[in-house]
Structure 1
Amino acid sequence: MSQSTDEEVPTSEEEWRERLSEEEYEILRERGTEARFSGEYVDHYGDGVYRCAGCGEVLFEGETKYDSGCGWPAFYAAEEGNVVRTEDTRHGMHRIEVSCANCDGHLGHVFQDGPAEHGGERFCINSVAIDYDDDE
Protein backbone atom coordinates (compact mmCIF):
# COMPACT_ATOMS: atom_id res chain seq x y z
CA MET A 1 0.00 0.00 0.00
CA SER A 2 2.39 2.76 -1.08
CA GLN A 3 1.43 6.14 0.26
CA SER A 4 2.69 9.44 -1.00
CA THR A 5 4.87 11.40 1.39
CA ASP A 6 2.56 14.32 0.50
CA GLU A 7 -0.23 12.51 2.35
CA GLU A 8 -0.63 13.29 6.04
CA VAL A 9 0.86 10.78 8.44
CA PRO A 10 -1.75 9.46 10.89
CA THR A 11 -1.56 10.98 14.35
CA SER A 12 -3.45 8.28 16.27
CA GLU A 13 -3.30 4.51 16.47
CA GLU A 14 -6.96 4.46 15.36
CA GLU A 15 -5.99 6.23 12.12
CA TRP A 16 -3.10 3.79 11.63
CA ARG A 17 -5.48 0.83 12.07
CA GLU A 18 -7.73 2.30 9.38
CA ARG A 19 -4.83 2.80 6.97
CA LEU A 20 -2.89 -0.45 7.44
CA SER A 21 -3.77 -4.11 7.09
CA GLU A 22 -3.62 -6.19 10.29
CA GLU A 23 -0.20 -7.57 9.32
CA GLU A 24 1.17 -4.14 8.39
CA TYR A 25 -0.10 -2.74 11.70
CA GLU A 26 1.54 -5.56 13.68
CA ILE A 27 4.92 -4.99 11.99
CA LEU A 28 4.99 -1.21 11.57
CA ARG A 29 3.21 -0.09 14.75
CA GLU A 30 3.69 -2.97 17.21
CA ARG A 31 7.30 -3.83 16.22
CA GLY A 32 6.45 -7.33 15.03
CA THR A 33 8.46 -9.60 12.74
CA GLU A 34 7.26 -11.66 9.80
CA ALA A 35 8.37 -15.29 9.47
CA ARG A 36 11.72 -15.97 7.76
CA PHE A 37 11.53 -16.50 3.99
CA SER A 38 7.82 -15.59 3.96
CA GLY A 39 8.03 -12.02 2.69
CA GLU A 40 7.21 -10.78 -0.78
CA TYR A 41 10.58 -9.05 -1.23
CA VAL A 42 13.00 -11.71 0.05
CA ASP A 43 13.92 -12.78 -3.50
CA HIS A 44 12.84 -9.60 -5.30
CA TYR A 45 15.42 -7.46 -7.11
CA GLY A 46 15.00 -4.36 -9.24
CA ASP A 47 16.42 -0.94 -9.99
CA GLY A 48 13.61 0.99 -8.29
CA VAL A 49 13.24 2.05 -4.68
CA TYR A 50 11.74 0.52 -1.57
CA ARG A 51 9.37 2.81 0.29
CA CYS A 52 7.85 2.71 3.76
CA ALA A 53 4.52 0.84 3.57
CA GLY A 54 3.13 3.25 6.16
CA CYS A 55 3.89 6.62 4.61
CA GLY A 56 5.65 6.19 1.26
CA GLU A 57 9.05 7.59 2.34
CA VAL A 58 11.95 6.28 0.22
CA LEU A 59 14.06 4.05 2.47
CA PHE A 60 16.32 1.91 0.25
CA GLU A 61 17.60 1.97 -3.32
CA GLY A 62 17.13 -1.29 -5.23
CA GLU A 63 20.84 -1.43 -6.07
CA THR A 64 21.68 -1.76 -2.34
CA LYS A 65 19.62 -4.96 -1.91
CA TYR A 66 21.55 -8.23 -1.74
CA ASP A 67 21.05 -11.90 -0.83
CA SER A 68 22.30 -12.29 2.73
CA GLY A 69 20.60 -15.65 3.27
CA CYS A 70 18.95 -14.33 6.46
CA GLY A 71 15.36 -14.87 5.27
CA TRP A 72 14.36 -11.20 5.11
CA PRO A 73 15.14 -8.51 2.53
CA ALA A 74 18.67 -7.24 3.19
CA PHE A 75 20.19 -3.93 2.16
CA TYR A 76 23.72 -2.64 2.72
CA ALA A 77 22.68 1.03 2.89
CA ALA A 78 19.63 3.15 3.72
CA GLU A 79 18.61 6.55 2.38
CA GLU A 80 20.47 9.02 4.57
CA GLY A 81 18.19 10.71 7.07
CA ASN A 82 15.16 8.52 6.24
CA VAL A 83 15.89 5.73 8.73
CA VAL A 84 16.25 6.15 12.51
CA ARG A 85 18.32 3.76 14.67
CA THR A 86 17.28 2.91 18.22
CA GLU A 87 18.72 0.51 20.78
CA ASP A 88 16.47 -2.55 21.19
CA THR A 89 16.96 -4.84 24.20
CA ARG A 90 13.71 -6.80 23.89
CA HIS A 91 13.76 -10.60 23.98
CA GLY A 92 17.03 -10.67 25.96
CA MET A 93 19.05 -9.43 22.95
CA HIS A 94 20.94 -6.26 22.16
CA ARG A 95 20.10 -5.06 18.65
CA ILE A 96 19.70 -1.83 16.74
CA GLU A 97 16.15 -1.31 15.55
CA VAL A 98 15.51 0.73 12.40
CA SER A 99 12.36 2.80 11.88
CA CYS A 100 11.06 5.19 9.25
CA ALA A 101 12.13 8.74 10.13
CA ASN A 102 8.91 10.14 8.65
CA CYS A 103 6.25 8.02 10.41
CA ASP A 104 8.20 6.04 13.05
CA GLY A 105 7.12 2.73 11.50
CA HIS A 106 9.20 -0.28 12.63
CA LEU A 107 11.16 -1.71 9.68
CA GLY A 108 13.52 -4.26 11.19
CA HIS A 109 17.09 -4.17 12.50
CA VAL A 110 20.59 -3.32 11.31
CA PHE A 111 23.51 -5.66 11.98
CA GLN A 112 27.25 -5.33 11.49
CA ASP A 113 27.67 -8.47 9.34
CA GLY A 114 26.98 -6.99 5.92
CA PRO A 115 29.30 -6.68 2.92
CA ALA A 116 32.62 -5.20 4.04
CA GLU A 117 33.09 -3.43 0.71
CA HIS A 118 29.92 -1.42 1.44
CA GLY A 119 30.62 -0.52 5.07
CA GLY A 120 29.68 -3.79 6.76
CA GLU A 121 26.05 -3.06 7.58
CA ARG A 122 23.08 -5.37 6.89
CA PHE A 123 19.65 -3.78 7.14
CA CYS A 124 17.37 -6.76 7.81
CA ILE A 125 13.89 -5.50 6.86
CA ASN A 126 10.39 -6.96 7.02
CA SER A 127 8.80 -7.20 3.55
CA VAL A 128 5.49 -6.10 5.06
CA ALA A 129 7.10 -2.80 6.13
CA ILE A 130 8.14 -1.82 2.59
CA ASP A 131 6.67 -1.40 -0.89
CA TYR A 132 8.68 -1.56 -4.11
CA ASP A 133 8.38 1.31 -6.57
CA ASP A 134 9.84 0.69 -10.02
CA ASP A 135 9.24 4.28 -11.17
CA GLU A 136 12.22 5.92 -9.46
Structure 2
Amino acid sequence: LPASVEVYLEDTVANTLTLLNDSDYVITPSTDLSGTGRFYLRYSDDALSTIENSIDKLDIFALNSSDQIVVSGQLFENTKLELYDIQGRKVLSTRLDESLLQNRIDVSGINAGVYIVTVQSNNQEKTKKVILD
Protein backbone atom coordinates (compact mmCIF):
# COMPACT_ATOMS: atom_id res chain seq x y z
CA LEU A 1 0.00 0.00 0.00
CA PRO A 2 1.18 3.56 -0.57
CA ALA A 3 2.51 5.36 2.51
CA SER A 4 -0.44 7.79 2.35
CA VAL A 5 -2.94 4.98 3.05
CA GLU A 6 -3.75 4.52 6.71
CA VAL A 7 -4.92 1.08 7.85
CA TYR A 8 -7.14 0.76 10.92
CA LEU A 9 -8.35 -2.25 12.87
CA GLU A 10 -11.88 -1.75 14.18
CA ASP A 11 -12.87 -3.77 17.25
CA THR A 12 -16.68 -3.62 17.50
CA VAL A 13 -16.77 -5.16 20.99
CA ALA A 14 -14.25 -2.73 22.53
CA ASN A 15 -15.54 0.07 20.26
CA THR A 16 -12.01 1.06 19.21
CA LEU A 17 -10.13 1.99 16.04
CA THR A 18 -6.39 1.22 16.10
CA LEU A 19 -4.03 2.69 13.52
CA LEU A 20 -1.88 -0.23 12.34
CA ASN A 21 0.64 1.90 10.42
CA ASP A 22 2.25 3.03 13.69
CA SER A 23 2.23 -0.12 15.80
CA ASP A 24 1.08 -3.70 16.04
CA TYR A 25 -2.23 -4.66 17.61
CA VAL A 26 -1.99 -7.22 20.41
CA ILE A 27 -5.03 -8.77 22.06
CA THR A 28 -5.19 -11.31 24.87
CA PRO A 29 -8.83 -12.44 24.96
CA SER A 30 -10.34 -13.61 28.22
CA THR A 31 -12.68 -15.98 26.33
CA ASP A 32 -12.44 -18.00 23.14
CA LEU A 33 -12.97 -15.98 19.95
CA SER A 34 -15.01 -17.47 17.13
CA GLY A 35 -17.32 -16.35 14.37
CA THR A 36 -17.35 -13.11 12.42
CA GLY A 37 -18.29 -9.52 13.10
CA ARG A 38 -15.88 -8.39 15.80
CA PHE A 39 -12.85 -7.17 13.81
CA TYR A 40 -12.82 -5.17 10.58
CA LEU A 41 -9.99 -3.64 8.57
CA ARG A 42 -10.61 -0.05 7.49
CA TYR A 43 -8.35 1.95 5.23
CA SER A 44 -8.34 5.51 4.05
CA ASP A 45 -6.19 8.10 2.30
CA ASP A 46 -7.36 10.55 4.97
CA ALA A 47 -7.15 10.05 8.72
CA LEU A 48 -10.31 8.72 10.33
CA SER A 49 -11.87 11.13 12.79
CA THR A 50 -14.66 11.35 15.30
CA ILE A 51 -16.63 13.58 12.92
CA GLU A 52 -18.07 10.39 11.42
CA ASN A 53 -19.66 9.62 14.80
CA SER A 54 -22.57 11.92 14.11
CA ILE A 55 -25.77 11.98 16.06
CA ASP A 56 -27.50 10.49 12.99
CA LYS A 57 -25.91 7.15 13.86
CA LEU A 58 -27.85 6.97 17.13
CA ASP A 59 -30.46 4.30 17.62
CA ILE A 60 -33.44 5.28 19.78
CA PHE A 61 -36.04 2.70 20.76
CA ALA A 62 -38.44 1.67 23.51
CA LEU A 63 -37.66 -1.48 25.48
CA ASN A 64 -41.17 -2.18 26.72
CA SER A 65 -40.23 -5.38 28.56
CA SER A 66 -38.36 -3.26 31.12
CA ASP A 67 -40.12 0.11 30.69
CA GLN A 68 -37.07 1.86 29.30
CA ILE A 69 -36.12 4.08 26.39
CA VAL A 70 -32.69 3.16 25.03
CA VAL A 71 -30.35 5.58 23.26
CA SER A 72 -27.54 3.58 21.69
CA GLY A 73 -24.49 5.13 20.02
CA GLN A 74 -21.72 7.65 20.57
CA LEU A 75 -22.94 10.89 22.17
CA PHE A 76 -21.38 14.35 22.29
CA GLU A 77 -21.00 16.59 25.33
CA ASN A 78 -24.12 18.13 26.87
CA THR A 79 -26.53 15.69 25.23
CA LYS A 80 -30.05 15.70 26.61
CA LEU A 81 -33.15 13.65 25.94
CA GLU A 82 -36.64 15.12 25.97
CA LEU A 83 -39.83 13.07 25.74
CA TYR A 84 -43.03 14.64 24.42
CA ASP A 85 -46.54 13.20 24.32
CA ILE A 86 -48.45 13.22 21.04
CA GLN A 87 -50.01 16.60 21.95
CA GLY A 88 -46.56 18.20 22.23
CA ARG A 89 -46.35 18.40 26.03
CA LYS A 90 -42.93 17.73 27.54
CA VAL A 91 -43.22 14.63 29.74
CA LEU A 92 -39.56 14.03 30.61
CA SER A 93 -36.22 15.77 30.28
CA THR A 94 -32.89 14.23 31.28
CA ARG A 95 -29.20 14.60 30.53
CA LEU A 96 -27.49 11.60 28.92
CA ASP A 97 -24.07 10.25 29.90
CA GLU A 98 -21.76 10.72 26.90
CA SER A 99 -19.23 8.25 28.36
CA LEU A 100 -21.70 5.38 27.80
CA LEU A 101 -22.46 3.84 24.42
CA GLN A 102 -25.94 2.91 25.63
CA ASN A 103 -28.11 5.09 27.86
CA ARG A 104 -31.27 3.61 29.39
CA ILE A 105 -33.99 5.91 30.67
CA ASP A 106 -36.64 4.56 33.04
CA VAL A 107 -40.17 5.37 31.82
CA SER A 108 -42.10 3.09 34.17
CA GLY A 109 -44.00 6.09 35.59
CA ILE A 110 -45.22 7.22 32.16
CA ASN A 111 -48.55 6.12 30.67
CA ALA A 112 -48.71 3.87 27.61
CA GLY A 113 -49.02 5.67 24.28
CA VAL A 114 -47.19 7.25 21.38
CA TYR A 115 -44.34 9.64 22.26
CA ILE A 116 -41.71 11.71 20.48
CA VAL A 117 -38.11 11.41 21.71
CA THR A 118 -35.70 14.24 20.94
CA VAL A 119 -31.97 13.83 21.58
CA GLN A 120 -30.07 17.13 21.37
CA SER A 121 -26.40 18.04 21.58
CA ASN A 122 -25.35 21.67 21.01
CA ASN A 123 -26.51 22.28 17.43
CA GLN A 124 -27.38 18.65 16.57
CA GLU A 125 -30.74 16.98 17.03
CA LYS A 126 -32.38 13.62 16.33
CA THR A 127 -36.09 12.95 16.79
CA LYS A 128 -37.86 9.60 16.78
CA LYS A 129 -41.35 8.32 17.51
CA VAL A 130 -41.64 5.54 20.12
CA ILE A 131 -44.59 3.54 21.41
CA LEU A 132 -44.71 2.72 25.11
CA ASP A 133 -46.85 -0.27 26.09
Q: TM-score range by the shorter chain?
A: under 0.3
Q: TM-score, normalised by structure 2?
A: 0.23
Greater per-residue strand proportion: 2
Return the index of the structure with the highest Cα Rg: 2
Q: TM-score, normalised by structure 1?
A: 0.23
